[in-house]
Structure 1
Amino acid sequence: MSLGLTLARRGLRVAVVGRADRPHAASAAAGAMNGCFGEVTPHLLRSEHGRLKLAMDFRATALWDGWEEGLLQESDEVALRTAKGTVVILNTVGVPEIDTEGFKAIRTALDEYKEPYEDIDPADVPWIHPAPTHRPLQAMFIPGEHAVDAPALLRALSAALVRNGGTIVDDLVAEVLLDGDRATGVRLTSGEVLSAGHVVLATGAATTKLLGCLPEELRNKIPAVVAGRGVALMVRTAAGTMPPSVIRTPNRAFACGLHVVPRQDGVIYLGATNEVESQVGTTAAIGELNLLLSGASQMHDDLVNGWVERILVGNRPVPLDGFPLLGRAGVDGLWLMTGTYRDGLHQSPLLAAEMAARILGEQADAELDVFTPVRPPIEAMTRDECLEMAVRHTLGSGYEHEWRLPDDWPPMIEKHFRSAFGRSLEQVDPEFVPPPEMFIFADDYIHAALRTYYEAHRGASGR
């Protein structure tokens, strides 16, 4: 929608295809934090590609005021932002290797970018009132990181696109059409054909099946996109109160940490889980709901008296190597703009401008060329780091679930995880290093997709 609007504003003829109800989309279920520094982790800062992703988030943050202003002028929405700033808390639920180090990494990145923030007394954080066993140890306030009302944003984008001459087609693409080495349009599930000089797949977790139009040798060199299924809750608080800001923990257990985002009229967004799966999902597992409901006491012990108004399920687009797919998809006229995992909504103004420049043959940021879809696997950590991260985050999820074990059990469990995950890593590939989520959560389909992708690049990479 953002790219379509950007191109329509430039006077191009644009059609955006997709079902209006967005059954599998991540954005429709997103807490929509304008998260830049709040998403920082130690591993992100140690990786060249991770630091580039942070730089993209930082650039996107600077665009949001103008982006919001334009959308409000071109739609019937009166506001898109729902939170003023972000409070990051470090509480007693997590583990030092994840939560404490994550909290330090956020501060390190803020200092490096000279971004304003303030250390605050956790007792002074508005609204927060956790259970006594979950009280925060530290807290910081980041005034420049807000949140967006995702449904309002999607309505504004739709209205602005139409008012700028764009067309919205309430259907799904069944097939991308090629004529030789050039994309010529798409065939819809209704059978209708739309012809176009450029086709952009911004299709999230559904992307890979639409790449069947490409020759197999080329298709195998593009990392497949799988689903990071996430579950969140819309909760009406008992007293009708909301925090003025986002309140969140550092990232945990391969997810974006526990967070509360104010929406409106005493309703808060409580999120979110993350399970990497080969197929998109539309339902929530009981264990995921239990995790969110038990986690609520980390934020406010009175949430148990609130009401769950809606269960949200979305599917984040996760490429096999964990990094975005931005640019030409190996044939003329076919582009990918997806694979952004948890950053797509926040980065949308930036990515729309960058992709529009590429499509129109204008100057674009060459640094982002590393995310071209046809590429060797991006490896953001060593095998030892990958294994250690898999073990630590899996153990950390146990503490987040408030497990109660004999004191001598966690070391035995850690030894078992290290052995089992090590074998799984070797079975996936003895040389390439996937993101930890891809071999500890993943099913046989994802493991097979990884092997296919690695084999397509083994000779070219010198391995």
Structure 2
Amino acid sequence: MGDPSATCDVVVVGNGSVGMSLGLVLARRSLRVAVVGESARPWAASAAAGAMNGCFGEVTPQLLRSEVGRLKLEMDFRATALWTDWEQALLEESDETAIRTAHGTTVILNTIGVHDIDTGGYEAIRTALEEYKEPYEEVDPASLDWLDPVPTSRPLRAMHIPGEHAVDSPALLTALETAIRRRGGTLIDDLVTEVVVSAGRATGVRLASGRSVAAGQVVLAAGAHTTGLLDCLPPDVRALIPPVVAGRGVALMVRTVTGAIPTGVIRTPNRAFACGLHVVPRGDGLIYLGATNEVERHPGTSAAIGELNLLLGGTRQLRADLNAGWVERTLIGNRPIPLDGFPLLGSTGLAGLWLMTGTYRDGLHQSPLLATHMADLILDGPGAVGMDLSVFTPIRPPIQAMTRDECLATAVLHTMGTAYEHDWKIMEDWPPMIEEHFRSAFTTMLDRIDSAFVPPPEMLFFADEDIHELLLSYYAAHENAATPAEDR
């Protein structure tokens, strides 16, 4: 495992796909690098990910309406172009024989959900595909061999995107570990508890075991645990960085009753504050069935019964006979979500300390791009070629991709969509009354949180008192920073 007391050029905190990819890129550039993280990865998003190489399949109408949303799409698009060479290099540097397990993605539009979410998402995906001139094909849902839903969940339309694949995340993480070691990097099975600061710069990290790792540069890629490591910053600086909360996701590894699995990803558009229902082949009769999303202040390691019910109920949208299959494993991961919903990439303002996190659902897919970008920044390079990602610098005003009215409308729409996805059965005249209740409640939340800044809509649906307090503190810090001292 290497000597954790040794000095290295860079220590990367976090051993998910993002941190490991950066560690490998740095090791390939002949730097002495150590990646620190518990080998079991109990909270990591990567270990529980379906790992879709999703670019266009993740597009939503909201994403296309803002400049920063389109920048995120551009990052996804460029990351897609890197994956073939990235996978090939990993295969050559490790003992893995395959990392991708799905070839192509089929997006289905079925009778579940809400028109403005599902149909709107389906059309947004097609719009983005055409704008980027990416090949796709509208297909007859009845021609999809593996798909066999119950009649009430039948797909109305389907499109096949041949350039969107998926990755076996355990194989990817194993390949990254092997490649880093073979390049001379060090993997430390431990938990970082503190960033060490000396003479005004980060000089290493302290571990839960009591040992320390000295380094010239420290990169925090610790996902949903990142914010807790920022106590090393002056309070007024730390307050300007969006806190990172956890998007806890639950997924299931299912063994099909017949052993049949699809050749590629089958998914719905993003819906109900999550990435939509999706199935990813994992080989040997196993499929990955995902995934839920619950935004919480702290990472979690348990699955709620309601989340399991949602996933198991979703099998009717895919294959009726999945009900006779077996759940072999429940997967739980925590996606890192900054309070404004966008990644944290760059310097913290403290010399030698960098952030590389907050990627929400895009981290694994974007990891080759982000690793190259951050390695360039650390080595005084230009960052990702041809892309200005300075909007994602950690110390920034809150990014607002929606207006107040758009946030409110989206929160109400997806809240109602959640109910329909759960197949609720209520009197026909109740939904308008319930919708009006949520509109009133979310309006009150928006007014309470801030009169100017607008959070992502999921912060209204999921936010408890802890997250509300984080939002209030974060917004207040920026309002104070923008107000001259004599006017406060």
Shorter-chain TM range is over 0.9
How far apart are 1:185 and its partner, in Å?
Answer: 0.3
How far apart are 1:405 and its partner, in Å?
Answer: 1.1
Q: Aligned with 1:228: secondary structure?
A: strand
Number of the residue aligned with 2:399: 378
Number of the residue aligned with 1:436: 457
Residue 29 of structure 2, aligned match among 4, 7, 10: 10
Between the aligned partners of 2:483 and 2:425, the Cα distance in structure 1 is: 48
1:252-311 CA distance string (max 9 Å, x none): 011000000000100000000000000110010000000000011100000000000000
Number of the residue aligned with 1:352: 371
How far apart are 1:460 and its partner, in Å?
Answer: 4.6
Between the aligned partners of 1:153 and 1:9, the Cα distance in structure 2 is: 17
State yes or no: 1:162 paired with 2:181.
yes
1:139-160 CA distance string (max 9 Å, x none): 0000000000000000000000
Shifted more, 452-461 versus 158-167: the winner is 452-461
Residue 256 of structure 2, aligned match among 231, 237, 246: 237
Number of the residue aligned with 2:359: 340
State yes or no: 1:52 paired with 2:71.
yes
How far apart are 1:459 and its partner, in Å?
Answer: 4.3
Between the aligned partners of 2:221 and 2:301, the Cα distance in structure 1 is: 19
Residue 329 of structure 1, aligned match among 329, 335, 348: 348
Q: Aligned with 1:367: secondary structure?
A: coil
State yes or no: 1:452 paired with 2:453.
no
Q: Would you say the 8 A contact 1:126–1:244 is kept in 2?
A: no
Residue 409 of structure 1, aligned match among 423, 430, 434: 430
Number of the residue aligned with 1:187: 206
RMSD: 1.0
How far apart are 1:424 and its partner, in Å?
Answer: 1.1
Amino acid in structure 2 at the alignment position of 1:281: G
Between the aligned partners of 1:432 and 1:131, the Cα distance in structure 2 is: 44
Between the aligned partners of 2:315 and 2:326, the Cα distance in structure 1 is: 12
Q: Aligned with 1:196: secondary structure?
A: strand
1:114-149 CA distance string (max 9 Å, x none): 000000000011200000000000000000000000
1:342-381 CA distance string (max 9 Å, x none): 0000000000000000000112245111100011000000
Number of the residue aligned with 1:125: 144
Shifted more, 437-446 versus 241-250: the winner is 437-446
Shifted more, 432-441 versus 215-224: the winner is 432-441
How far apart are 1:93 and its partner, in Å?
Answer: 0.3
Q: Which runs of 4+ in 1 moved over 3 A?
A: 459-463
State yes or no: 1:264 paired with 2:283.
yes
Amino acid in structure 2 at the alignment position of 1:73: E
State yes or no: 1:422 paired with 2:443.
yes
Q: Aligned with 1:139: secondary structure?
A: strand
Number of the residue aligned with 1:303: 322
How far apart are 1:394 and its partner, in Å?
Answer: 0.4
1:66-107 CA distance string (max 9 Å, x none): 000000001010000111100000000011110000000000
Matches within 5 A, 1:207-286: 207-286=226-305
Amino acid in structure 1 at the alignment position of 2:462: F
Q: Would you say the 8 A contact 1:242–1:268 is kept in 2?
A: yes
Q: Aligned with 2:320: secondary structure?
A: coil
Q: Aligned with 2:205: secondary structure?
A: strand
Number of the residue aligned with 1:34: 53
Between the aligned partners of 2:340 and 2:388, the Cα distance in structure 1 is: 18
Q: Aligned with 2:408: secondary structure?
A: helix
Number of the residue aligned with 2:17: none
State yes or no: 1:387 paired with 2:408.
yes
Between the aligned partners of 2:383 and 2:91, the Cα distance in structure 1 is: 27
Q: Aligned with 2:194: secondary structure?
A: strand
Between the aligned partners of 2:110 and 2:380, the Cα distance in structure 1 is: 49
State yes or no: 1:313 paired with 2:332.
yes
Amino acid in structure 2 at the alignment position of 1:107: R
Number of the residue aligned with 1:171: 190
Between the aligned partners of 2:105 and 2:400, the Cα distance in structure 1 is: 31
TM-score computed with the length of structure 2 as normaliser: 0.94
How far apart are 1:181 and its partner, in Å?
Answer: 2.5
Between the aligned partners of 1:60 and 1:126, the Cα distance in structure 2 is: 30
How far apart are 1:180 and its partner, in Å?
Answer: 3.5
**Paired-residue identity, %:** 69
TM-score computed with the length of structure 1 as normaliser: 0.99
1:28-79 CA distance string (max 9 Å, x none): 0000000000000000000111100000000000000000000000101000
Amino acid in structure 1 at the alignment position of 2:352: G
State yes or no: 1:94 paired with 2:113.
yes
Between the aligned partners of 2:123 and 2:434, the Cα distance in structure 1 is: 27
Q: Would you say the 8 A contact 1:205–1:315 is kept in 2?
A: yes
Amino acid in structure 1 at the alignment position of 2:340: D
Q: Would you say the 8 A contact 1:424–1:440 is kept in 2?
A: no
Between the aligned partners of 2:309 and 2:327, the Cα distance in structure 1 is: 13
Shifted more, 425-434 versus 30-39: the winner is 425-434
Matches within 5 A, 1:357-368: 357-365=376-384, 367-368=388-389
When residues 17 and 132 of structure 1 are mapped into structure 2, their CA distance, relative to the original with a 3 A threshold, is same
Unaligned runs of 5+ in 1: none
Q: Would you say the 8 A contact 1:376–1:461 is kept in 2?
A: no
Q: Would you say the 8 A contact 1:247–1:261 is kept in 2?
A: yes
Between the aligned partners of 1:205 and 1:278, the Cα distance in structure 2 is: 9
Q: Aligned with 1:357: secondary structure?
A: helix
Between the aligned partners of 2:332 and 2:230, the Cα distance in structure 1 is: 25
Unaligned runs of 5+ in 2: 1-19
Amino acid in structure 1 at the alignment position of 2:111: T
State yes or no: 1:85 paired with 2:104.
yes
Q: Aligned with 1:103: secondary structure?
A: helix
Q: Would you say the 8 A contact 1:386–1:435 is kept in 2?
A: yes
